[in-house]
Amino acid sequence: MNLRVRVVHYGSRHWYADIDDADDPQPDDPFWFVDNCRTQSQALEIACRELRLMSGRLVRGDQLDRVLEVTGVPV
């Protein structure tokens, strides 16, 4: 699995970040996301912290669940 962080700016209002498989053909269902960050650096810092945690889970052999699988609500 090739995880990647994506950071997106929504107008002048806020920043969004998610973590997904870089090879996923359907990017609307990430493994993790955060919304309403005040700055790009805040979104990136939070996402990178989560990416380190997720990487550790994968090393242990844990399975990662997608947001839609856990919440039932698409991102």
Average of per-residue pLDDT across 7-12: 89
* Bridging pattern class, strands 32-37 and 3-10: unpaired
What pLDDT sits at residue 74?
61
Q: Please give the single-letter amino acid code of residue 62.
A: D
For residue 73, the model assigns a pLDDT of 65
* Residues 47-64 pLDDT 10s: 999 999 999 999 999 999
CB of 29 within 8 A of CB of 10?
Answer: no
What is d(CA 42, CA 27) in angstroms, rounded to the nearest whole number? 22
Tally of domains within the chain: 1
Q: Is the pTM of this model over 0.75?
A: yes
The residue segments making up the domain with residue 56 are 3-71
